[in-house]
Every structure is written in C-alpha cells, then in structure tokens.
Structure 1
Amino acid sequence: MTSLHETAHENVAEETATGGARPPPAPRSRAERAGQEALDAVRSELPMVLSYSAPTLDADLDPARGVVTGTFAEQFDQVAASVIAPQTRSAMITTSATVNRAGLAQARRTASTRWCSWTRPRPPGTRPSRVTQSQVRVVLLPVEGRWLISEVSPL
C-alpha cells in the first residue's frame, strides 16, 4: 500500500523529470463527456429561454426556440405568444437570467436531468425591485448531436 507521502513524493519526482509539466489526463469516458456537455448546455441554454427585452423581443426569442424540443418547444411558443410577448411589450420589461449553480440529478444515454439555481433581476421600475432566485429541474434530450431542453419545472 502506498502512503500519501510516497504518492506526493512520486508526483514531485514526475514533475521534476518532465520539466514541471504533468502528463495529460486520461481520456474521459463517453458518459462523463456527455454529462459535461449536458451541464454546459444547461448553463448556456437556460439563460436564452429566460432572458428577453421589450425592444429586442423577437430577436431574443428566436435563439431560445432553437434550444428547446418536443412538447416543451410547443409550450414555449404558446407562452411566448400569449403571455411573454404581450406583457413584455406593454410593460417594457427587460429580464436577464444567469445560471448560478447546476448539477446532475439523473443521467441516461437518452436524457440528462439537471437541477440548477438561477437568478433574474426584476425589471427596472417594478416594485419591489429585487433579484429573484429559483431552482428548477431541467430535462435535456440529445437531438442531432446537441443537448436540448425538453422540460423545465420548479423544484
């Protein structure tokens, strides 16, 4: 059995022998890569779905439509047309979401479920002015080599 001290000594010797450079890490498994890709997708795609501004609403919603799939895509279009667009334009709302934390809840080859915590400042001029923090469950599905959002539900 190798002690922690011996392991540390071997690492220092290895770094010295290689000029201070460590060898590249071993290739990660396909499952680990897929999990990381899904996590990256949550961090980049959820803000697209939850961020928009009255002056640029159509341009803001178009990329969001490209990162949702399945029945959630249909629901998103319906809510965008019947709720988000009218309220955003009439109240001149600007909202920007940021994913603060995200983690794995469940992973399969065909889907990845993530939880995430996100913040969204209330629009200027609304009372009370504050930052909303929420946690949601996000289900992603692999579609043509990309992870797309197929469900967002509150925790």
Structure 2
Amino acid sequence: MIGRRAFAVGLSLALVGAGASTASLYAQTRTDEQLPQSRSAIGDAADDGAVAVLSYRADSVDADIEHAASFLTGDFLSYYSAFGAESIAPAAKERGIISSATVSASSIVSSSENSAVALVFVNQNITSTDAPDPKAASSSLRIELDQVDGRWLISKLDPI
C-alpha cells in the first residue's frame, strides 16, 4: 500500500514538474518570438518620432507640432508642446522655415517590457526665406521610450 502511494505521489510530482517545465518553455519561446516584433516596434517608434519632432513646414507648423506630439509622452511631451508653440512655430512662420529630417541609421541600445533606449542618427535639411539654400546637419540622438497603452512613445530625447 505504501509503495502504491509513493508511486502515485512520485507520478503526481513528475506530472506537475513536466507541466511546469512545458509552461516555462512555452513562455520563453513566446518571449523569444515576441522580442523581434517588440524591437521592431521600438525602432519604428524612435525613428518615426525623431523625424516628426525635427520636421516641420512654415505653412503647416502648428499641425506638424501636433503630429509630433502624438509620438511623445510625459515631461518630454509637455516640454515639446510648450517649446513648439513658443519658439518653433513663431520662428518657422516668421522666417518661412522648412525643416526636413530623415533617419540614416538607428539601433536599440536596451529594452525591457515597458521601456527602451534607442540611438538614432538623423540627417536634417533646413531652408528659410532668408537662406533658401538647404543647410544640412547631421546629429545623433539618444531616445528613451516608454510603452503607454500598447504604443511606444518618446519620453526623452537628448542630442549626443
């Protein structure tokens, strides 16, 4: 009788262990499968957000600033919205500024479930009514992102 109970307990423990191992393996496989998708979403959000923040036209600057704000969150959203309204928009309208940015390269530096850091290299061309020949500039940006309601949004953007 004791042998049967020991066998039953041993079998139960083995089944529970196998179930836990299977669940752990499934979770790890699922995480590994999601990692490239998450990294792609993070990279796209960093690239698209950088371009939106640095691109605007004198004739649509208010809408351009509003569009760029849709890629931002937290204190950076507050800062950018105020800076855009107080500095970018008036200067763009007064001087006929057109700023066009493109991403030349980017990489995810680190990521976790709800935050990430990306390095983005940007080329920017700027023209204005008083300087119609494009002025080219290149910059490197360290971008911090947070996942908010399923979207990756820029929470900090620092030139480096």
Q: Distance in 1 between matches of 2:92 and 2:135?
A: 18
Q: Secondary structure at the match of 1:122?
A: strand
Give me the TM-score of the superposition, normalised by structure 1: 0.77
Alignment of 1:69-148 (within 5 A): 69-124=73-128, 125-126=130-131, 129-148=134-153
Q: Which moved more, 1:119-128 or 1:137-146?
A: 119-128
Equivalent residue, structure 2, for 1:43: 47
Identity %: 26
5+ long unaligned stretches in structure 1: 1-25
* TM-score, normalising length: structure 2: 0.75
Structure 1: 4+ residue segments shifted above 3 A:
none
The 8 Å contact of residues 49 and 64 in structure 1, kept in 2 or not, is answered as yes
Once the two structures are superposed, residues 26-74 of structure 1 have per-residue CA deviations (whole angstroms, 9 ceiling, x without a partner) of 9852233211110011222211111101111112112111110000000
Whether the 8 Å contact between 2:52 and 2:64 is mirrored in structure 1 is: yes
SS in 1 for 2:127: coil
The 8 Å contact of residues 35 and 112 in structure 1, kept in 2 or not, is answered as no
Q: 8 Å contact 2:106–2:120 — kept in the other structure?
A: yes
**What's the CA shift for 1:123?**
1.0
Aligned length: 130
Contact 1:113 1:140 in 2 (8 A): yes
Map of 2:63 onto structure 1: 59
Match of 2:68, SS? helix
For residues 34 and 65 of structure 1, do their structure 2 counterparts lie closer, same or farther at Cα, with a shift above 3 Å needed? same
Structure 2 unmatched runs, 5+? 1-28
